């Protein structure tokens, strides 16, 4: 039986349009609708029963928590409907890893959810979007993709939503998983997995997804970027502005300059959970100085600051604290 693949279009460069086919910057992201995108890859209809809808037409740097939650709610609805065998999401690359991680956190089914994007606008010479859409549909329709959480497919490679990050500002091979590498590839139409995908899996993802998708927005959890001579002033500022959690992107193994550490420790004392992540793109953030443990900071493990932020937002909504997060990230 042919697989039923539903495509959700969010905009991005994959739907971008430029006046000149040689232009790969200075275009309008999200300008083209889903029908136009699919018209460039008629082969997808040979692979599966394709349906689709336009959920947004945005440059993904502008995505709001409300739009991320709306996407998560629609994915949840589709997964529960019994009417799809796979979901493909076309999304801008700038925040693709964030939406992918949020969806992965809330993923409760064995049905593949695959996110793709493109680095060159749809109007460009050698646009990468059409092949990325074709590969994403192939992966979403593959039996081997079941029960692997949310997958990111671009440039013929398959990545885990938990590990993938946008490494290059401009290159088409921008999506990489610096810890562990890609988990599979699509070679000339053949889907091949060579590693498993999810590291952390919420045992109660179905109820967490219900709780989160009933929200209209997410709590204010800023990321503070560590640097030399950080005097902790920004920690005070975000607290005054109602931060309900803080992610500190520290140096190396999540190291925090002393004055900022003092302010962050005071935040934890006041009931604001703090995750230590890293400005380094690879390696794990693990237990470091004893004072971090005593202060109650949470080490982010393999999560980069942007993903750690989403996890912390979800934890705040669900009333989970430091101990729960430490257990989850172990």
Q: Which residues lie near ligand SIN (CB under 6 A)? A: 12-13, 29, 59-61, 92-94, 117, 119
Nearest distance, CB of residue 132 and ligand SIN, angstroms = 11
E strand spans, the chain? 4-11, 49-58, 86-90, 113-116, 150-154, 157-160, 165-166, 175-176, 184-187, 190-193, 223-225, 246-250, 274-278, 298-299
Any idea which residue has 């606008």 for tokens?
121
Catalytic residue among 24, 93, 116, 123: 93
Nearest distance, CB of residue 30 and ligand SIN, angstroms = 6
Active site residue 93: yes
Looking at the Cβ atoms of 96 and 285, the one nearer to ligand SIN is 96
Nearest distance, CB of residue 84 and ligand SIN, angstroms = 24
Looking at the Cβ atoms of 93 and 244, the one nearer to ligand SIN is 93
Looking at the Cβ atoms of 171 and 281, the one nearer to ligand SIN is 171
Q: How far is CA 122 from CA 22, 99, 142, in A?
A: 11, 21, 26
Looking at the Cβ atoms of 118 and 205, the one nearer to ligand SIN is 118
Residue nearest to ligand SIN (CB): 92
Q: Are 87 and 228 in contact (CB under 8 A)?
A: no
Nearest distance, CB of residue 276 and ligand SIN, angstroms = 27
Nearest distance, CB of residue 63 and ligand SIN, angstroms = 8
188 appears as a binding residue in the annotation: no
Would strands 86-90 and 113-116 be described as parallel, antiparallel, or unpaired? parallel
Looking at the Cβ atoms of 29 and 238, the one nearer to ligand SIN is 29
Active site residue 213: no
278 appears as a binding residue in the annotation: no
Find residue 151's DSSP bridge partners: 114, 160
231 appears as a binding residue in the annotation: no
Q: How far is CA 121 from CA 100, 133, 277, 319, in A?
A: 21, 13, 33, 41
Q: Nearest 5 degrees, angle CA 191-CA 175-CA 73?
A: 80
Would strands 274-278 and 113-116 be described as parallel, antiparallel, or unpaired? unpaired
Which residues carry a binding-site annotation for substrate? 60, 93-94
Return the active site residues.
Answer: 13, 93
Which residues are annotated as part of the binding site?
60, 93-94
């Amino acid at each position: 039986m042919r697989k039923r693949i539903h495509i959700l279009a969010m905009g991005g460069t994959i739907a971008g349009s430029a006046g000149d086919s040689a232009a790969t910057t200075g275009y309008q992201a999200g300008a083209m609708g889903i029908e136009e995108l699919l018209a460039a890859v008629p082969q997808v209809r040979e692979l599966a029963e394709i349906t689709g809808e336009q959920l947004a037409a945005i440059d993904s740097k502008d995505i709001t928590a409300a739009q991320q939650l709306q996407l998560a709610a629609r994915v949840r609805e589709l997964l529960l409907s019994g009417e799809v065998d796979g979901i493909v999401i076309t999304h801008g690359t700038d925040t693709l890893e964030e939406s992918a991680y949020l969806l992965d956190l809330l993923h409760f089914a064995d049905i593949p959810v695959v996110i793709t994007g493109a680095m060159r606008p749809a109007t460009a010479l050698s646009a990468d979007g059409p092949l990325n859409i074709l590969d994403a549909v192939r992966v979403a329709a593959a039996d081997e993709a079941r029960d692997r959480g949310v997958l990111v497919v671009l440039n013929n490679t398959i990545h885990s939503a938990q590990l993938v990050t946008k490494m290059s500002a401009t290159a088409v091979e921008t999506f990489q998983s610096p810890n562990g590498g890609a988990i599979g590839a699509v070679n000339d139409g053949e889907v091949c997995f060579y590693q498993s995908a999810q590291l952390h899996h919420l045992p109660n993802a179905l109820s967490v997804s219900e709780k989160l998708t009933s929200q209209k927005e997410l709590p204010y959890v800023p990321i503070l970027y560590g640097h030399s001579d950080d005097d902790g002033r920004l920690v005070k500022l975000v607290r005054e502005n109602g931060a309900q959690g803080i992610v500190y992107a520290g140096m190396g193994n999540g190291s925090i300059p002393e004055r900022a550490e003092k302010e962050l420790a005071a935040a934890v004392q006041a009931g604001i959970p703090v995750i230590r992540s890293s400005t380094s793109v690879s390696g794990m953030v693990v237990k470091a100085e004893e004072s971090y443990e005593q202060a109650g900071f949470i080490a982010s493990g393999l999560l980069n600051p942007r993903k750690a932020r989403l996890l912390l937002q979800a934890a705040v909504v669900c009333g989970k604290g430091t101990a729960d997060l430490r257990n989850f990230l172990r």
